[in-house]
Amino acid sequence: MSSGSPQDLAEARPEPAFTVTLDGREIEAVPGRTVAAALWSAGVTSWRTTRVGGAPRGVFCGIGVCYDCLVTVNDRPNQRACLVPLHPGDAIRTQEGTGHDD
Amino acid sequence: MTERPHLAVIGAGPAGLAATAAAAAHGVRVTLLDSAARAGGQFYRQPAAELNARRPQALHHRWRTWERLRDSLARHVEAGHATHLTDHHVWFVERRSDHFTVHALLGPAQEDPVEVRADAVLIATGGYEKVLPFPGWTLPGVLTAGGAQAMLKGSLAVPGRTAVVAGTGPLLLPVATGLAAAGVEVAALVESADPKAFLRRPRVLAAQPGKVAEGAQYAAQLLRHRVKLLTRHTVVEAHGDERLEAVTVAALDTGGRIRPGTERRFACDTLAVGHGMLPHTDLAETLGCRLEGLRVHVDDEQRTDVPGLWAAGETTGIGGADLALTEGHIAGRSAAARLTGAVPDPRGWATAAKSRTRLREFSAALDAVYAPPACWTDLVTDDTIVCRCEEVAGGAIREAVAGLGAGDVRTVKLLTRAGMGWCQGRMCGPAVAGLAGCELTPSRRPFARPVPLGVLAHAGETEDDEHQ
């Protein structure tokens, strides 16, 4: 039957979690994870709205090809959440449209 | 000792690692460039070091092969015969009069340029997943099957609690069993093909007993995790408002059409979907390599038709990790021989060449069995988004084709913007081609990834100065 989690399965003993923020709200992040993985683990699957339809988007290809998971990290918009690793204190912001409006 | 000739290998997946090992062991200095922080590519993607995974092999198949590749790279690096440049995103390879210059962007930020000069280049850039559109496929919670696997292997993260794995192709099996082993409830594995069709190809199967055993292992794991296997079925729609809540699945008739009345709904927060793989060929295309359909053409030695340029792995045709290993080995051996001035002796890689032949036959058989359902274009409603970047829907593409006479992907792009966005048509290309009723052709992108204008403006300046 299923085991508990991917970390159990791989017998991971990650370094202590640190704090980052998503739109000002504090979330815990496990070191080594990408922005996308940290947000997934916090129960967040969408962090961008599209330019035309304002539709929510999150990870799609997971390997940096599709650019659907774009997000603003430390005031830099259009970062691919599936590639960018997180660091303590990083400020993640939901990206609306091009990310250059605010 | 005279200085060894220098080979740049692009891509540290199975093909690139095998090529690096073979070339470095035969008198060549290798610089291995890869965009990831750790070697492995997609197939052997490793968890980030900070996660301290003691049993990463629990997420992998054929771990011993990985250990061999990893240890061999470490040995060659230590001996000074190989350099592994991590976090190097190659955007362009330039052919100069007496050498190649590989242009890369550094790190996740991808703002600062690096140039690597080499006597020859070996392209092992792998592939990416093809996904055909259906209503709801842009909802958060819907992702590629390979993407789900990449996040699991690299970050030890899963997207949700309950998943449906769907589409077609051999990748779906490890994704479904991998998610299940990692604690995700896999409600169904939905495969549009009928893998039993393999039984009609006993010769191909008999030549690959390892693959048969692998298939049996997956079947046992699906049973153990109680994953419902639905063959000759397809996802017709993903439901949800702000995120995925359920999918509707239906049975297919022998013509690949939906059998009316067979629809059923599965509640899920994750849909991992894929319809096969496509080769990354941008770097080779820009260098002027001959392509065969969507793959880079190579000869028996894995040489492209551009002198000094080799290619191996998925970029020369989708065939899986085992084939990539044999091709990488042969390419590395051939490059080493030619760069050191020796006449390549194919007897030196006869075993690899034999495996390559068998594995290519096997992958051709896979291609014949696994296919998206014939009805996939019918599922694309007029308001189904087809181009995810530019938000172009099925109706607009049909209007361009039927109303305005567009007969190819390029004309559809000019009329609708489909394929003009960030991903440069990598995601929607197959769908646009299907809806336009034409073959998908190489896109001729000048650069393999977005490049800052400042980097573009100064690329190659140092070399130009030297040559003046």
> Which DSSP string do the residues of B285-325 spell out, in sequence order?
HHTT--EETTEE---TT-B-SSTTEEE-GGGG----HHHHH
Which residues from chain A sit within 8 angstroms of residue B132, using beta carbons? none
> Which pLDDT score is estimated for B109?
82
Homologous superfamily in CATH for domain B131-275: FAD/NAD(P)-binding domain (3.50.50.60)
> Once rounded to an integer, what is the mean pLDDT over residues A42-62?
95
Average pLDDT value for residue range A11-40: 96
Q: Which residue of B has its CA nearest to A36?
A: B151
Q: Which of residues 46-85 of A touch B (CB under 8 A)?
A: 46, 50-53, 55-68, 70, 79, 82-85
Could you identify the residue written with the tokens 């159990």?
A8
pLDDT beyond 80 at A3: no
Looking up tokens 């008739």 gives B253
Q: Measure Cα distances from B387 to B419, B425, B428, B458 in Å.
A: 6, 8, 5, 33
Closest CA of chain B from A94, distance in Å: 14
Q: What averages of pLDDT result for each successive group of 10 residues across chain B (468 residues)? A: 88 98 98 97 96 95 96 98 97 95 92 96 97 98 97 95 97 96 97 85 79 86 94 97 97 95 98 97 95 96 98 97 98 97 92 96 91 94 97 97 92 94 94 94 84 87 66
3-state SS class at B174: helix
Residue boundaries of the structural domains of chain A:
11-96
A11 touches chain B (CB under 8 A): yes
Give the pLDDT confidence score for residue B467 in this predicted structure.
Answer: 56
Q: Do B48 and A85 touch (CB under 8 A)?
A: yes
Flag whether pLDDT at A71 surpasses 50.
yes
Mean pLDDT of chain A: 92
Confidence (pLDDT) at A1: 39
Residue A101 pLDDT > 70: no
Question: Among A1-5, A14-18, A91-95, B271-275, whose mean pLDDT is lowest?
Answer: A1-5
ipTM of the complex: 0.95
Asked: is A11-96 a CATH 1.10.3720.10 domain? The reply is: no
Q: Is B185 in Cβ contact with A4 (below 8 Å)?
A: no
Q: How far is B107 from chain A (nearest CA, A)?
A: 9
Interface probe for B, chosen from A35, A50, A52, A65 (most Cβ of B below 10 Å), is A65
Shortest Cα distance, chain A CAs vs residue B427, angstroms = 6
* Of residues A45, A62, A83, nearest to B148 (C-beta): A62
Do the domains spanning B6-128+278-344 and B131-275 agree at the CATH topology level? yes
Q: Minimal Cα distance from B108: which residue of A?
A: A84
Contact assignment for B51 to A60 by CB distance below 8 Å: no
Residue A36 scores a pLDDT above 70: yes
Q: What is the pLDDT of residue B466?
A: 62
- Going by C-beta distance under 8 Å and a sequence separation of 6 or more, which residues neighbour residue B219? none
Give the pTM.
Answer: 0.95
Asked if residue A30 has pLDDT above 80, the reply is yes
Q: Supply B403's token pair.
A: 């109303």
Query: CA of B295: how far to CAs of B248, B289, B308, B389, in Å?
Result: 34, 10, 18, 25
- Could A6 and B142 be called an inter-chain contact, meaning their C-beta atoms sit closer than 8 Å? no
Cβ-proximal residues to B69 (8 Å cutoff; 6+ apart), any chain: B14, B17, B18, B21, B39, B44
pLDDT given for residue B423 in this prediction: 93
Which amino acid is present at B129? E
**pLDDT score recorded for residue B203:** 79
Q: Does domain B6-128+278-344 have CATH number 3.40.50.2000?
A: no
Q: What's residue A2's pLDDT?
A: 42
Q: What residues contact B64, with CB distance under 8 A and at least 6 apart?
A: none
Which positions in chain B touch A84 (Cβ < 8 Å)?
Answer: 108
Residues of A in contact with B37 (CB under 8 A): 85
Whole-number Å distance between alpha carbons of A49 and A45: 12
CB-based burial of residue B408 (10 Å sphere; 0-12 exposed, 13-18 middle, 19+ buried)?
middle
Q: What is the pLDDT of residue B356?
A: 97
Query: So where are chain B's domains?
Result: 6-128+278-344, 131-275, 380-436
Topology of domain B380-436 in CATH is Arc Repressor Mutant, subunit A (1.10.10)
Q: State whether residue B188 is helix, strand or coil.
A: strand
- Judged by CB atoms closer than 8 Å, whether chains meet at B54 and A11 is answered as yes
Q: Do A46 and B152 touch (CB under 8 A)?
A: no
